[in-house]
Amino acid sequence: MSALAPGTPVNAAAPSLQPIGAGERIAVIDILRGFALLGILLMNIEALSGPLDLSFTSIDPHWQGADYWTDAAIYVLVQGKFFTLFSLLFGAGFSVMAQRAAAAGREFTPFYLRRSAALLLIGLCHALLVWSGDILVMYALISLPLLACREAPRSWLPVMGVGSYLLAAVLLLLMGALMGELVASGDPGGQTREAMLQAQQTIELQRQAYGYGSWSQAVAQRFSDLGAMLSGIMIVGPEVLGMFLIGSWFARSGALAEPARFAGLYAALRWVALPVGLALMLVSAYWVPYLAPGTFTPASGAAYALSSVASLLMCLGYLAWVVRVRDRLHWLAPVGRMALTHYIGQSLVCTWIFYGYGLGLFEQLPRLWQVPFALALFGVQVLVSHWWLRHFRFGPLEWVWRAMTYLQWPPLRRGDARA
């Protein structure tokens, strides 16, 4: 797979904008996507096997013994670190495509809007028909302000990205302070009590719909969950946009294509950002280990803001370590090339196993055993990826996404066209 020199257009000789072949890809991006996909599954498995909203409570005290410590380990090491990495890679892909469009002499905006619209459609189908913990809808929506930043000078991107990301932490602090003022004033309208009751009611509705309901009942609940998810765009949106912009810098600067030129940066991320981030995450988890559904206080706002900063630092540290050992992780690249297919595939498999309209194992898998289950499922996805890409150029959903984006069906089987 070829590497790109900084500032060199991708596929500069291409006469038109077409789906890229395997030989034109930046290998480390695919490896990182595969790595991120594993982390996302480890993060999502709790929400796939039980009520979605119970997975947002940090370290849940209802777990005991090894289950509790597993939950704590996932919270500290995984939660919030891998969706940020996935977001960074989305931004990197955006910049690579923009370079290719410029090299081909084709207008980028119409192509990119089609790509975002296609992703929105796929995300809505995922969120409403399969699993309500979808992130693709958010990506599709936030991809629009990313497009507006396309002409930003390269040197501005890290500052813009970090600034956008930290805005979410500031908003968490403000929300905590606001709730603190509300409680201090005696909560005249009973809003905090009502929020707690509503949160508990939502969890019970999810339990009944997903654990015991029919597929149509689950779809009805997913519509409600999607609205709640979109209401959180004020917090998650700035984080996602920030990671998009940071990822754009990694691609435009050449840091992903030629990491050897950025040895100092990667060393700082490995030996400074990651340890500092881990320390901040441990402080946050010790300070506020559990957030009861429907509650929010100044302390929890500050702890969550701290964990948000920690997640950014740890995400970048993980990225730097994967780049360092990328030659040993080449087996992850095929998974990364099929990341969309496997992301939705994880939801399909898990909802079939755990939901009431499937095998009905909802809330039956102990937290400790969720980890080997996720690792086994990911292992199957690795094997499937290697087999599939020996015969086909793209994953199934990647092929559909490309067709919707380029308004043509790209060759799927190897041998039908240059792969």
- pLDDT of 236-245, one tens digit each? 999 999 999 9
Whether the pLDDT of residue 17 is over 80: the answer is no
Please indicate, yes or no, if residue 208 is contained in any of the structural domains. yes
Looking at residue 187, what is its pLDDT? 63
What's the angle, vertex CA 276, arms to CA 272 and CA 279, rounded to 5? 150
In a domain, 129, yes or no: yes
Q: Which range among 270-279, 302-311, 360-369, 408-417 shows the weakest confidence by mean pLDDT?
A: 408-417
Do the domain assignments include residue 294? yes
Tally of domains within the chain: 1
Q: Which domain holds residue 106?
A: 24-406
| Res 334 pLDDT > 80 | yes
Question: What pLDDT is recorded for position 323?
Answer: 97
* Rounded mean pLDDT, 407-413: 92
- In tens, the pLDDT along 85-128 reads 999 999 999 999 898 888 888 889 999 999 999 999 999 999 99
pLDDT value at position 189?
59
With residue 3 as reference, give the H or E element that holds it. none
Distance separating alpha carbons of residues 84 and 42, to the nearest angstrom? 14
Task: Judge whether residue 388 has pLDDT over 50.
Answer: yes
Q: How many residues does the chain have?
A: 419
Q: For residue 64, tell me if it sits in a domain.
A: yes
User: Model confidence over 184-217: pLDDT tens digits?
Assistant: 776 655 667 787 889 899 999 999 999 999 999 9
Look up residue 102 and give its two tokens. 């410029």
Task: Tell me the per-residue pLDDT of 252-289, one tens digit each, with 9 for 90 and over.
Answer: 999 999 999 999 999 999 999 999 999 999 999 999 99
Residue 416 has pLDDT above 70, yes or no: no
At 71 the pLDDT is 97
- Alpha-carbon distance of 64 to 72, in angstroms, equals 11
pLDDT value of residue 190: 62
Query: How many CB atoms lie under 10 A from the CB of residue 181?
Result: 11
Give, for 394, the enclosing helix (H) or strand (E).
Answer: none
Question: Which DSSP state fits 21?
Answer: P
Output the pTM of the full model.
0.91
Residue 2: pLDDT band (50, 70, 90) is very low
Residue 144: what pLDDT?
94
The CA distance from 198 to 56, in Å, is 15
Q: How confident is the model at residue 23 (pLDDT cuts 50, 70, 90)?
A: very low
User: Residues 323, 29: contact at Cβ < 8 Å?
Assistant: no
Q: Convert the pLDDT of each residue in 24-34 to its tens digit.
A: 578 999 999 99
DSSP 311-345: HHHHHHHHHHHHHHTGGG-GGGHHHHHTHHHHHHH
Q: Is 187 within the bounds of a domain?
A: yes
Q: Please report, rounded to a whole number, the percentage of residues in the chain having pLDDT higher than 70.
A: 91
**Calpha distance 97→19 (Å, rounded):** 10
Residue 14 covered by a domain: no
Confidence of residue 250 (pLDDT cuts 50, 70, 90): very high
- Kindly give the interhelix angle for 233-252 and 298-324, rounded to the nearest 10 degrees: 20
Q: In sequence order, which residues have a C-beta less than 8 Å from that of residue 327 and are 6 or more positions away?
A: none
Percent of the residues in the chain that have a pLDDT greater than 90, as a whole number: 78
Q: Is residue 417 part of a domain?
A: no
